Structure 1
């Protein structure tokens, strides 16, 4: 089984995803631009894999009626895009993006 690990910039939050990561995307909606402070947000879906927070938990911001965004409350690293159809992780948060 393939294991992918990652976390925030300061190390307060860490995660592990076990399984094949199949879907990645680049979102350029205005909410992603604001959340990432950039023109787009590179995301990797963790639907269908076993995902665990191994250190800490992200803080969450309800950015719309349907989406929550997770981030490190200590260093501010964007970590998640959480929608009813599943969660995606910021590609740059992986140890080996």
Structure 2
């Protein structure tokens, strides 16, 4: 056992190499770990999870950063907002 209590040291380069080989073998293409993070955020956004919670899960210091990075995932939200307001209209 090494001084740091690990039997084997696993550095970033070997992690990246093994992850890349595994994703190519399974998916037929390279997938970065960051792609998993982006997919995680995209999934939560598209399923209506509150942006504050998503921001916290991603470790962002504020929601503005989350919205700045992932705002392209909200293309239909404007229409959703309009539809919600239209439902509030009262017949005269």
Query: TM-score range, shorter-chain basis?
Result: under 0.3
Q: Which has the higher helix share?
A: 2
Bigger RCO (CA 8 Å, 6+ sep): 1
